[in-house]
């Protein structure tokens, strides 16, 4: 049973939503954030990447950065850029990308469900990234960006959401510069909100699609606030964190590709010979390569050529983790041949979301890398299988698009 609650959102004034919205805090560096927010005083980047307003502060984790985020929230509220809804509500959030639509519910979910694995995970987190969001949430007294959750589609819940959207005008409806459509409905009817909560009670598990660090940090902030408030009832806002929850059938997972800086001391011929021990290797047709079209095949760009790699049957295992293509690549090429033992920490490897295309892999090899690998995307059903077995995918296994817009909601603790 999943606990999903409406909440009283802080969100942009209707006429400013298209100016406030930004990309998530963790998909850009400081320079990119500063450029995106340049000449836009409304951009949410002034809150989620507030170091851009402190030109003399080089450390993005300094206390002054978190304090600046808090003061910017206060100023946005004072100036009417952000407004605070009068009562707890659910919100319908629809994104449209290349004609594909995903429609979710913006809500709060339980930190107890997170700790008790009702909200299931599929990635490890890093302490320093958790600490950053813990500090940010604590100082801001808010979850400033939602977690991206999914669930196995439920026809009754889908119909309930669709009925509201069809019969009410949206609060926001605009397209951002990256051609993503963002449409939002406010569900003001308490009976409909209760019905949505009841429907989620019939859904046994929620799954983190994107936002493992935000989830872990939000749960830890909630626990800290429980310690400070020992008489807590469990219904206070700090017992919950903000999420957008989409049905699995709406989602698309893109490939998450790899580029490596060198061949670990091998010549190109030596490297290819080692790869051929566990893969069939063919020269790919076309100078731009071809993305893998089925599991256990890979694209590789090396020495100005594209290759197609196909895993030999004997290296394909039955268990859910080892059979993932990101695992096969790690276990039979990146680790034993290229010496990438821990891809989370090794500085010789970088990761590129498939949304950027094969051309970006080729560009990086020609610019500063030696070899690139294109991977067949992990499926949402793979994600469910891994999480249901309480296992963990290799790092950088999934890339979801479109990304959630930041700044459309804040959940005060």
Angle between helical axes of 190-201 and 155-167 (0-180°, round to 10): 160
Instruction: Give me the residue spans of the domains in the chain.
Output: 4-252+401-412, 256-376
* Measured distance CA(351)–CA(353) in Å, rounded: 7
Collapse the DSSP code of 95 into the 3-class scheme (helix H, G, I; strand E, B; otherwise coil) and give the result: strand
Q: What's the chain's length in residues?
A: 413
* Measured distance CA(227)–CA(222) in Å, rounded: 9
Q: What is the CATH number of domain 256-376?
A: 3.30.1760
Helix (H) / strand (E) element for 84: namely strand 82-84
Whether the Cβ atoms of residue 218 and residue 144 lie closer than 8 Å to each other: no
pTM: 0.92
Whether the Cβ atoms of residue 389 and residue 137 lie closer than 8 Å to each other: no
Give the per-residue pLDDT at 287.
63
Cβ burial, residue 234 (10 Å; 0-12/13-18/19+): exposed
- Main-chain phi, psi angles of 400, to 5 degrees: -95, 140
Cβ burial, residue 167 (10 Å; 0-12/13-18/19+): exposed
Peptide bond into 137 cis (omega under 30): no
Whether the Cβ atoms of residue 100 and residue 187 lie closer than 8 Å to each other: no
Q: Of 189, 143, 85, which Cα lies nearest the Cα of 197? A: 189
Tokens encoding 19: 């100016």
* Measured distance CA(411)–CA(224) in Å, rounded: 17
Name 206's bridge partners.
Answer: 119
Cβ burial, residue 72 (10 Å; 0-12/13-18/19+): buried
Whether the Cβ atoms of residue 104 and residue 249 lie closer than 8 Å to each other: no
* Measured distance CA(64)–CA(53) in Å, rounded: 10
* Measured distance CA(199)–CA(158) in Å, rounded: 10
- Terminal CA-CA length for the chain: 23
Beta-carbon contacts of 56 under 8 Å, excluding residues fewer than 6 positions away, are none
Whether the Cβ atoms of residue 80 and residue 42 lie closer than 8 Å to each other: no
Collapse the DSSP code of 338 into the 3-class scheme (helix H, G, I; strand E, B; otherwise coil) and give the result: coil
3-state helix, strand, coil in the chain (%, to 5): 35, 25, 40
Intervals of the chain under pLDDT 70: 285-288
pLDDT single digits (tens) 98-141: 999 999 999 999 999 999 999 999 988 888 889 999 999 999 99
Kindly write down the DSSP assignment for every residue of 239-293, as one continuous string.
Answer: GEEEEEEEEGGG--EEPEEEEES--TT--HHHHHHHHTTTEEEEEPSSTT-----
* Measured distance CA(282)–CA(299) in Å, rounded: 10
* Measured distance CA(284)–CA(122) in Å, rounded: 33
Helix (H) / strand (E) element for 167: namely helix 155-167
């Amino acid at each position: 049973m999943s606990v999903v609650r409406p909440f009283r959102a802080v969100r942009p004034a209707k006429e400013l939503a298209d100016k406030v919205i930004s990309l998530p805090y963790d998909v850009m560096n400081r320079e990119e954030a500063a450029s995106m927010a340049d000449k836009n005083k409304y951009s949410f980047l002034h809150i989620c990447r507030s170091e851009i307003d402190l030109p003399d502060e080089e450390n993005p984790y300094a206390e002054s950065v978190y304090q600046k985020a808090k003061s910017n929230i206060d100023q946005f509220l004072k100036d009417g850029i952000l407004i605070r809804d009068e009562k707890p509500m659910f919100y319908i959030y629809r994104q449209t990308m290349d004609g594909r639509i995903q429609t979710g519910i913006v809500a709060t979910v339980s930190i107890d469900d997170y700790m008790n694995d009702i909200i299931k995970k599929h990635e490890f987190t890093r302490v320093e990234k958790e600490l950053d969001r813990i500090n940010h949430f604590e100082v801001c007294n808010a979850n400033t960006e939602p977690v991206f959750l999914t669930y196995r589609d439920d026809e009754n819940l889908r119909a309930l959401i669709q009925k509201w959207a069809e019969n009410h005008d949206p609060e926001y409806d605009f397209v951002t510069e990256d051609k993503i459509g963002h449409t939002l409905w406010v569900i003001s009817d308490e009976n409909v909100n209760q019905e949505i909560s009841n429907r989620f009670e019939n859904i046994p598990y929620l799954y983190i699609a994107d936002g493992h660090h935000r989830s872990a940090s939000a749960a830890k902030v909630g626990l800290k606030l429980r310690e400070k408030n020992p008489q807590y009832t469990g219904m206070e806002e700090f017992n919950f964190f903000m999420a957008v929850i989409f049905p699995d059938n709406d989602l698309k997972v893109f490939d998450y590709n790899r580029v490596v800086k060198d061949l670990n001391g091998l010549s190109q011929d030596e490297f290819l010979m080692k790869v051929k021990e566990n893969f069939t290797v063919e020269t790919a047709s076309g100078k731009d390569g071809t993305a893998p079209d089925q599991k256990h095949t890979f694209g590789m760009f090396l020495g100005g050529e594209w290759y197609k790699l196909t895993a030999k049957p004997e290296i394909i295992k039955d268990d859910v983790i080892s059979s993932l293509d990101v695992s096969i690549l790690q276990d039979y090429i990146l680790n034993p041949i290229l010496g990438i033992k821990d891809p989370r920490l090794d500085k010789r490897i970088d990761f590129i979301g498939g949304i950027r295309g094969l051309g970006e892999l080729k560009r990086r090899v020609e610019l500063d890398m030696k070899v690139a690998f294109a991977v067949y995307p992990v499926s949402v059903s793979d994600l469910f299988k891994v999480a249901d077995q309480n296992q963990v995918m290799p790092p950088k296994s999934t890339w979801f698009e479109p990304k959630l817009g930041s700044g459309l909601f804040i959940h005060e603790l």
